Amino acid sequence: MLTCSIVGATSFTGTELIRILARHPHVKIGSLTTRSEEKIDARDLVPALGKANDLVIEKFNFKKVARDSDVVFVTLPHTLAMKVAGDFYDEEKIVIDLSADFRLHRADLYEDWYQERHSRKDLLKEAVYGLPEIYREQIKHANLIANPGCYPTGAILGLYPLLKADLIKHDFIVIDSKSGVSGAGKKLSQATQFCEVDENFGAYKVNRHQHTPEIEQTLSEVALAKIDVTFVPHLLPVNRGILSTIYVRRKPGIKKDKLAKAFESFAESEPFVRFYGVGKFPTLKEVQYTNFCDIGIEIDDKSDQVIVITAIDNLLKGASGQAIQNMNIRLGFSEEAGLIGV
């Protein structure tokens, strides 16, 4: 059995990885690490683990993790991830990096949007963007998988079938996304205090969220043309889940059936995409605690407006579930292994 380790095991996404790996049928857990000195019982973070479970999260030690692991999941904040993921890659491990550090192909874009220097530009062309629905073939052979951001996953999967089949115009794509609070991570912040979020709702980083270039890069690769989007994220008073309402215009003459068909075929061929049809839409409840991306659409014949609504669990299909899906693909397992009935 191959062994997986998690560097950054106490984050929300690290914790989800523990939960899934603990009952994955084909791999076992090696090292779980943290930046703090203190040892942590994994059951304190994942209370659903059985009483017999004795996994311990320990201070990060590169050599120990390298020795123990075939696969290393890195869930560190961006810029910290860069170095660690790079080091394990150099050590010939299979690295799945959940940070933003290897998602953008162009270092200048990264440095613009994240306002940090990139120290491993050499790896940008090695890294494969880990969205299985688009890059499955490359993922099969990748040793550095850049796991997509949560917003990009929901946004791209809603637009992919339309752009792929050339059904929509390129010049007016609006993505209005609403995310649960766990998307902000565990870092202490006034903006995520209960009294601030509870009974509240609002937009943030309007048209300047750092996930924008990631969305545009992937859509441009799909459309074989430069795609710009208007992306507005909002903060929902819920723990987990992202719902994106996407507005685009169909090309002249494209019939409703053709649009629906594009999504139907997509969902049929993908283990983790479900299509609800025209006029039927998912809510967060349908995807929470699952690795699915659920999609519904509507078409306004009057204006040629197409409305696509996608829902994902930001910690699963938007992060850790997708990371496991990538691992399954890379290691040749069933893509659903460990991910059904989460």
List the catalytic residues: 150
- Buried-exposed string 160-182: b where 16+ CB fall within 10 A, e elsewhere: bbbbeeebbebeebebbbbbbbb
- Interface stretch with its own copies, choices 56-64, 74-82, 144-152, 230-238 (CB under 8 A): 230-238
* 3-class secondary-structure state, position 42: helix
Alpha-carbon span 148 to 38, nearest angstrom: 30
Q: Which residues pair with 233 in a beta bridge?
A: 177
Residues 58 to 97 in contact with its own copies, rule: CB under 8 A: none
Does 269 interact with its own copies (rule: CB under 8 A)?
Answer: no
Using CB under 8 A as the binding rule, whether residue 193 contacts its own copies is answered as yes
Answer for which of 200, 225, 251, 255 binds its own copies (CB under 8 A) is: 200
Residue 36 near its own copies by CB under 8 A: no
Name which of 115 and 303 has its Cβ closer to its own copies: 303
Q: Does 245 bind its own copies (CB under 8 A)?
A: yes
Please give the size of the binding site for its own copies, defined by CB under 8 A: 75
Segment 134 to 173, residues that bind its own copies, using CB under 8 A? 171-172
- The four Cα atoms 314, 316, 319, 325 give a dihedral, to 10 degrees, of -150
Residues 274-303 that bind its own copies (CB under 8 A): 274, 279, 281-290, 292, 294, 298, 300, 302-303
Residue from 25, 48, 269, 332 in contact with its own copies (CB under 8 A): 48
Q: Which residue among 243, 254, 262, 329 contacts its own copies (CB under 8 A)?
A: 243
Inter-residue contact 66 to 76 (CB < 8 Å)? no
- Binding residue for its own copies (CB under 8 A) from 25, 199, 253, 269? 199
Coil, helix or strand for 41? strand
CA-based nearest residue to 245, from 158, 149, 152, 153? 158
**Tokens standing for residue 157:** 């999967």
Q: Are 11 and 318 in contact (CB under 8 A)?
A: no
Cα separation, 128 vs 110, whole angstroms: 16
Find the radius of gyration of the CA atoms of the chain: 20
CB atoms within 10 A of CB 250: 21
Q: Which is nearer to its own copies, 62 or 172 (CB)?
A: 172
Q: How far apart are CA 228 and CA 4, in angstroms?
A: 37
Q: Smallest distance from the beta carbon of 90 to its own copies, in angstroms?
A: 34
Binding mask 1-20 for its own copies (x = CB under 8 A): -----------x------x-
Residue 340 contacts its own copies per CB under 8 A:
yes
Q: Which is nearer to its own copies, 63 or 188 (CB)?
A: 188
Nearer to its own copies, 37 or 198 (CB): 198
Q: How far is the CB of 286 from its own copies (least distance, A)?
A: 4
Q: Decide if residue 37 touches its own copies (CB under 8 A).
A: no
Q: Which of 334, 331, 294 is nearest to 310 (CA)?
A: 294
- Sign for the CA dihedral angle at 214, 219, 222, 224 comes to negative
Q: Is 56 in the site for its own copies (CB under 8 A)?
A: no
Given 136, 249, 256, 261, the residue binding its own copies (CB under 8 A): 249
